[in-house]
């Protein structure tokens, strides 16, 4: 028992049953007689302190995943938590804090982006469990700090097997095999818990194999048992009421509250735990269970230094919010998140005073596509159009091109309006040497339940119809097009890949995203991002959305030919790999590889190592990411990169979900290289 738990038990021991029950609600009331202030547990910080005034808005989670740079993400999270502490330190001078003003943050989202139609996928780190685990663990470490106290608490969400459909999430039952559960859906949770010791885990809205996730003895038992979690478990907002209202597992809110608390869900976002005292009176839950839940929560509050006068983080001042160091960090992450998908040599563009560019598209000058969701309010922001206009020495023409953004197009009932926007776009294109088209989606279109048009999810991976018409109209003018796709998910870009000499993916890039894109376009920085998701060719490549089997999904189990593969990303320089060499260790191997910059400009390369699937082995993925590391190299420079694999990287889950090592020969690949390695126990 640590010192924080000892203090928590002493304090909770002085509380009445009613007081303890009330402390298990997210909006916990004050207990004045014990000197306990009111505390609201709900805070957000997915890619910056959110819903709490001005803060540095970093690129969306999926964009940061494209960097394949967990060291940089650690620094980003450290900056976010500095701003969070600074705000808390000031808020508490008012005598109390309110919602979104505390130290318990419900981030990161480490669900697996299994299907590009899921609206909330851009909140995640992509489709791969290992990448998600690496990035999630770095985020947690940066948020929580390394001192005696936690700087803030980080929360892994949404546990578990959660990725749509959004419109059905309150009553949906995600049916999943034991193999997929352990090989895919739980793996990032396991990794983050082992590597970063997060303070909290949030349960999902849905059921998994029949059990509500916020009251699942199976899942919560795995969490505290096999996965080794030792923090506090909380519900998503309203999820415990769903147990009776939508899942129909119980009949009343009191029964739902008792079921969830007995299973191990100690904190409720929502109103269900207002019924705990009644549930105790009905014999549905005992006082000891309530007491232990309260002890967990007060242990967390003591570990955050809320009742201490020696917490090192109390000294963080408000000037850190949106400071210059955080602005530069934001720009660096935004640059690393841009993915160059195709380049026939048109990029980087010459920045000529005599040149003429047209910037066309509804995403070009749209602030929402910078900020994503679960975002803060930036102190300044630069759209793609603004970034290009400020950076370019020549003439820049601009046209929105269409009103249509979200799939339900006003132009369909107002042809004059639609034609007016198209004419502006064609006039701009006619006057330009090169056209930069900036189109795609918006976080208002792909997002959480209640989002525009489709309950948060998108119906398919097609561009909205108005944007398809816009692209055809501009392409007909015969000018070379640099196409920037703005989205948090995969889009069908076959036509753009065929007709445009350059295609870039711009995930929601944060408040400095437009500057970063201009740096890439004009060659001040060589692109280095890689796709954290597969870009499929068509809607026909996608299995049924409601099916949670991994077969046919993501690069690990998709048997077809993608348009742009997971891990794809081009550069303005070239890298040569050589001497891929195994370094044997029990149960597997690490690897070294030499990487040389054979081009003419400085560049960074994300070096990815895959374990290839073995023919004839049931359930074997096509390949699996096993290690990655970035290398920054000057022209002509060569470096040896050490690729460390995790213990168990060569293990696979059987039909029973148990992971086992199958000794023998395996093939690994790194770039165009491959090597054979013998793995023994």
The C-alpha atoms of residue 158 and residue 265 are separated, in whole angstroms, by: 13
Residue of 336, 446, 604, 605 with catalytic role: 446
Whole-number Cα distances in Å, 245 to 205, 249, 412, 493 = 12, 9, 39, 41
446 is an active site residue: yes
236 is an active site residue: yes
SS (H, E, C) 603-661: EEEEEEEEEECCCCCCCCCCEEEEEEEEEEECCCCEEEEEECCCCCCCEEECCCCCEEE
* Residues paired with 673 in a beta bridge: 670
Reference 471, options 484, 461, 459, 460; nearest CA is 484
Angle between helices 324-337 and 70-91 (to 10 degrees): 140
| Cα radius of gyration (the chain) | 26
Whole-number Cα distances in Å, 483 to 335, 340, 470, 519 = 17, 10, 12, 16
* Residues paired with 653 in a beta bridge: 659
* Residues paired with 575 in a beta bridge: 597
What DSSP string runs through 390-452?
HH-SSEEEEE---S--SSS-GGGG-HHHHHHHHHHHHHHHHT-SEEEEEEE--TTTSSSTT-T
Residue of 153, 236, 255, 457 with catalytic role: 236
SS (H, E, C) 324-370: HHHHHHHHHHHHHHCEEEEECCCCCCCCCCCCEEEEECCCCCCCHHH
* Residues paired with 272 in a beta bridge: none
Alpha helices (runs of H) in 271-323, residue ranges in sequence order: 276-281, 287-303
Whole-number Cα distances in Å, 401 to 358, 364, 406, 426 = 11, 10, 14, 8
Instruction: Decide: 246 and 258 in contact? Cβ < 8 Å.
Output: no
Could you list the active site residues? 236, 446
């Amino acid at each position: 028992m640590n010192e924080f738990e000892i203090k928590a038990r002493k304090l909770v021991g002085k509380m009445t049953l009613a007081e303890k029950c009330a402390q298990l609600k997210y909006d916990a009331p004050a207990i004045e007689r014990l000197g306990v202030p009111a505390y609201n547990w709900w805070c957000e910080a997915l890619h910056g302190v959110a819903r709490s005034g001005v803060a540095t808005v970093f690129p969306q989670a999926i964009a940061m995943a494209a960097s394949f740079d967990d060291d940089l993400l650690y620094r980003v999270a450290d900056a976010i938590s500095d701003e969070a502490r600074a705000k808390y330190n000031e808020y508490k001078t008012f005598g109390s804090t309110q919602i979104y003003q505390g130290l318990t943050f419900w981030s990161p989202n480490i669900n697996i982006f299994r299907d590009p139609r899921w609206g909330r996928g851009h909140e995640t780190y992509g489709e791969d469990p290992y990448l998600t685990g690496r990035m999630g663990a770095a985020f947690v470490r940066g948020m929580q700090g390394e001192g005696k106290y936690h700087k803030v608490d980080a929360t892994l969400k949404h546990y578990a097997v959660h990725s749509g459909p959004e419109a059905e999430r309150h009553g949906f039952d995600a049916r999943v095999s034991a193999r997929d559960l352990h090989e895919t859906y739980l793996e990032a949770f396991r990794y983050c818990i082992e590597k970063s010791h997060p303070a909290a885990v949030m349960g999902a809205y849905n059921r998994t194999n029949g059990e509500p996730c916020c009251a699942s003895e199976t899942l919560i038992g795995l969490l505290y048992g096999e996965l080794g979690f030792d923090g506090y478990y909380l519900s998503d907002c309203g999820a415990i009421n769903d147990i009776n209202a939508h899942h129909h597992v119980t009949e009343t809110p009191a029964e739902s509250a008792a079921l969830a608390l007995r299973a191990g869900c100690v904190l409720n976002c929502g109103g269900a735990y207002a019924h705990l005292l009644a549930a105790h009176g009905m014999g549905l839950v005992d006082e000891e269970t309530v007491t232990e839940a309260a002890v967990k929560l007060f242990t967390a509050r003591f570990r955050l230094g809320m009742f201490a006068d020696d917490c090192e983080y109390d000294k963080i001042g408000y000037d850190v919010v949106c400071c210059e160091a955080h602005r530069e960090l934001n720009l660096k992450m935004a640059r690393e998140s841009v993915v160059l998908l195709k380049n026939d040599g048109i990029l980087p563009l010459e920045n000529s005073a005599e040149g003429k560019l047209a910037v066309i598209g509804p995403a070009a000058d749209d602030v929402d596509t910078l900020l994503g969701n679960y975002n803060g309010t930036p102190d300044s922001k630069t759209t793609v159009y603004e970034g290009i206009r400020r950076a370019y020495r020549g003439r820049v023409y601009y046209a929105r091109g269409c009103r249509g953004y979200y799939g339900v197009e006003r132009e369909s009932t107002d042809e004059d309006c639609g034609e007016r926007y198209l004419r502006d776009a064609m006039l701009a294109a006619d006057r330009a040497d090169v056209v930069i088209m900036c189109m795609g989606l918006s976080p208002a279109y792909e997002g959480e339940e209640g989002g525009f048009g489709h309950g948060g999810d998108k119906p398919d991976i097609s561009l909205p119809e108005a944007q398809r018409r816009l692209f055809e109209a501009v392409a007909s003018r015969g000018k070379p097009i640099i196409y920037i796709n703005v989205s948090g998910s995969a889009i069908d870009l076959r036509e753009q890949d065929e007709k445009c000499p350059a295609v870039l993916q711009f995930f929601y890039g944060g408040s400095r995203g437009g500057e970063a894109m201009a740096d890439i376009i004009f060659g001040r920085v060589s692109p280095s991002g890689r796709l954290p998701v597969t870009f499929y060719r068509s809607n026909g490549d996608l299995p049924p959305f409601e099916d949670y089997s991994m077969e046919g999904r993501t690069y690990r189990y998709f048997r077809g030919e993608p348009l742009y593969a997971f891990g794809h990303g081009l550069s303005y320089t070239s890298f040569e790999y050589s001497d891929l060499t195994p370094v044997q260790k029990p149960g597997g191997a690490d690897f070294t590889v030499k990487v040389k910059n054979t081009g003419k400009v400085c560049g960074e390369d994300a070096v990815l190592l895959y374990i290839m699937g073995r023919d004839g082995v049931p359930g074997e993925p096509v390949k699996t990411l096993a290690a990655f590391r970035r290398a920054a190299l000057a022209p002509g420079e060569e470096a040896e990169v050490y690729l460390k694999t995790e213990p168990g990287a060569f293990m696979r889950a059987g039909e029973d979900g148990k992971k086992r090592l199958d000794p023998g020969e395996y093939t690994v690949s790194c770039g165009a290289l491959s090597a054979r390695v013998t793995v023994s126990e």
